[in-house]
Structure 1
Amino acid sequence: MSPKGKEKEKPVASLLAGATAGGVEAFITYPLESLKTQLQFGSPSGKVRGVGSSANGQKLTPYGILTDTLRERGVRGLYAGVTAVVIGNALKAGVRFTTYDQFKSILKDDQGNLTAPRSMLAGLGAGMMEAVIAVTPSETIKTKMIEDSKRAQPQFNGLIDGVRKIVAQEGVGGLYRGVGPVMLRQGANSAVRFSSYSTLKQLAQGNLPPGQALPGWATFGIGSTAGVITVYTTMPFDVVKTRMQSLEAKKEYRNALHCAYRIATEEGILKFWKGTVPRLGRLVMSGGIVFSVYEKVYPLAASVVP
């Protein structure tokens, strides 16, 4: 999202600013992503044992998983799979902002304004693009590496070894397991996040003198609010995505619909919002960080690229 709405966005600048924002955000918020993923597995071993219960029958909580992870594997346990996510998130955010800015340029009216429905449409297109190009492979690798790290004897020795073994066992298609739910989640994520961010930003700018930029704290707050809205509207897609990308997904589920059906009938509808607390924490921070970094980096990038 270019800070100057009527100017044509520069794709290379959008890519550089988006990738920078995505990489920074991914590293800072990764422990929350790890906790969310472990909660969605349903038990410390990653195997579903019931509605949010652990191997010994105790109810899983973000705090419980955090303390168990730190005790058993230290801080490194919270960062299992982080390399894949930082790289993937940088690529994802680069693709997201580049495609969103281009869709936005096409959908603006003659005065350079973008209505909320058109912003949502641009976000939907950007989310679909990022899901196919970057998100599905990185999320699959991350999910499998987090689950593998919880085993008594992990199989994966780092990112490269993990990718090699996943491809050897499941083929290249193994990296794209759950692509349907990912596309739905990312499309919904971007549509909701960008449209809510754009709407809130326009409302805030309407109270400022013409030409005056929003202060950093306001951009962070608006981005965080957009993150809250995004979490509650897209959480079911995220739960199905995590289950479809688990190590045992091929044995447990025929497809995404079968996965969703089993969750609803065996674990209850509320299971679709399992992991909301850490994901909410992550996306509130993520929204604030990624939009703030992007708004700062884009003008710098635009000044040095053609």
Structure 2
Amino acid sequence: MVSHVGYRADAKEELSVTDHALAGAVSGMITRALAQPLDVLKIRFQLQVEPIARKGGGLYQGILQSVAMIIRMEGVSALWRGHVPAQFLSLTYGTAQFGSYALLTKAASQSGIGEGLISRGACGAVSGVCATLASFPFDVVRTRLIAQGKPKRYNGVVDGVTKMVREEGVLCVWRGIVPTLLMSVPYSGLTFYFYSIFDALSSRLMVYEREQHWMNTAAVSGTAAGVCAKVCVYPLDVLKKRLQIRGFEEARKQFGKVVAYPSAWKCLVCVTQEEGLSAWFKGLWPSLLKSGISTGIIFISYESTCRILAKAHNTKNAKADDR
């Protein structure tokens, strides 16, 4: 018999949409703090026009070399550059994504649509739209903070937003929104889709009691889901980053060749012609590391927070029943 204050297997399903949103916010913040260096590395790779190779390459030539280069040129703190807007991004994105996902899956279940893999993937895709629209300006700001060299053009989030809006107009904080939506919709849907698949496989393959090892299940399923989803949409992530620094190219001179793209189509054509198809996978390895690790941490943190909230609710209900 399960204790009133314990965590029942179905307890998460009884949590409110607000609880799920809170768990999403917590998981996003924890993940961002741990995975930010990989994100910085990924963005630097994506924005480098020259090949990422030892021979004929640009400033960054590999993961270890790039980390050493950033630390030597800019200090250890540079690995967390853009962390403040990135935290706002993760907080907003996690809240909107998991909150809307819980709302959508609950509505789908009640309407009779079902709770299958396709349904969860579709709900995940729509939640990705909600999360992207809510958090996108923070993504643009943190990309520029990470991308800038020395002397710094922006001295923080507020200074960055103020200068961007004054110099380029309000719409500049929405640059790259189209490829971002094209990426985030399938990425979010695929993440929840693959997570459901790997979660189900883990339940079948694991010979031990799942409830006692739920963290292992969340870690393995989350990591695998993050890697699979990222590979599917990665070229769109590169396109998004290239577009987000339009009007900001001169601040990147110290990092190598500077190219200005007047439109998304021109960017697509120029990068393909001048850098080759492989350019759309620049920064893939740190991105896969970041995506796998961060998605694993996200689901571990999310599941942990849900369990804590469920236990808190159970304890509260148990005390109310004892009165």
Instruction: Name the TM-score class by shorter chain.
Output: 0.7 to 0.9
Aligned residue-pair number: 295
TM-score by length of structure 1 reads 0.87
Trace 1:96-115 onto structure 2 (pairs within 5 A).
96-108=97-109, 114-115=115-116
Q: Is the 8 A contact 1:3 1:295 kept in 2?
A: no
- Which shows bigger deviation, 115-124 or 31-40? 115-124
TM-score by length of structure 2 reads 0.83
CA shift for structure 1 position 60: 2.5
In the alignment, the residues of structure 2 paired with residue 34 and residue 6 of structure 1 have an alpha-carbon distance, to the nearest angstrom, of: 34
1:187 aligns with 2:185: yes
Spell out, residue by residue over 1:100-146, the C-alpha distance to the aligned partner (whole angstroms, 9 max, x if none). 11111222378996211111111110111111111x21211111111
In the alignment, the residues of structure 2 paired with residue 3 and residue 265 of structure 1 have an alpha-carbon distance, to the nearest angstrom, of: 53
**AA partner of residue 304 (structure 2):** K
Q: Is the 8 A contact 1:15 1:95 kept in 2?
A: yes
Q: Is the 8 A contact 1:37 1:143 kept in 2?
A: yes
Trace 1:280-295 onto structure 2 (pairs within 5 A).
280-295=288-303
Calculate the aligned-residue CA RMSD, in Å.
Answer: 2.8
Change beyond 3 A, Cα 1:191–1:245: same
**AA partner of residue 32 (structure 1):** L
**AA partner of residue 246 (structure 1):** I
CA shift for structure 1 position 214: 4.7
In the alignment, the residues of structure 2 paired with residue 264 and residue 187 of structure 1 have an alpha-carbon distance, to the nearest angstrom, of: 24
Q: Is the 8 A contact 1:9 1:105 kept in 2?
A: no
1:262 aligns with 2:270: yes
CA shift for structure 1 position 9: 4.8
- Which shows bigger deviation, 15-24 or 72-81? 72-81
**AA partner of residue 21 (structure 2):** L
Q: Is the 8 A contact 1:23 1:86 kept in 2?
A: yes
Runs of 4+ aligned residues of structure 1 deviating over 2 Å after TM superposition are 2-9, 50-54, 56-60, 106-113, 202-215, 247-258, 299-306
Aligned position for 2:3? none
- Which shows bigger deviation, 201-210 or 63-72? 201-210
Q: Is the 8 A contact 2:121 2:193 kept in 1?
A: yes
- Which shows bigger deviation, 285-294 or 264-273? 264-273
- Which shows bigger deviation, 253-262 or 29-38? 253-262
For the pair shown, the structure with the greater C-alpha radius of gyration is 2
1:171 aligns with 2:169: yes
Aligned position for 1:147? 147
Aligned position for 2:90? 89
CA shift for structure 1 position 166: 1.3
Q: Is the 8 A contact 1:39 1:62 kept in 2?
A: no
Segments of 5+ residues of structure 1 without an aligned counterpart are 43-47
Aligned position for 1:205? 203
Change beyond 3 A, Cα 1:289–1:297: same
CA shift for structure 1 position 38: 0.3
Segments of 5+ residues of structure 2 without an aligned counterpart are 1-7, 250-258, 318-323
**AA partner of residue 267 (structure 1):** E
Aligned position for 2:77? 76
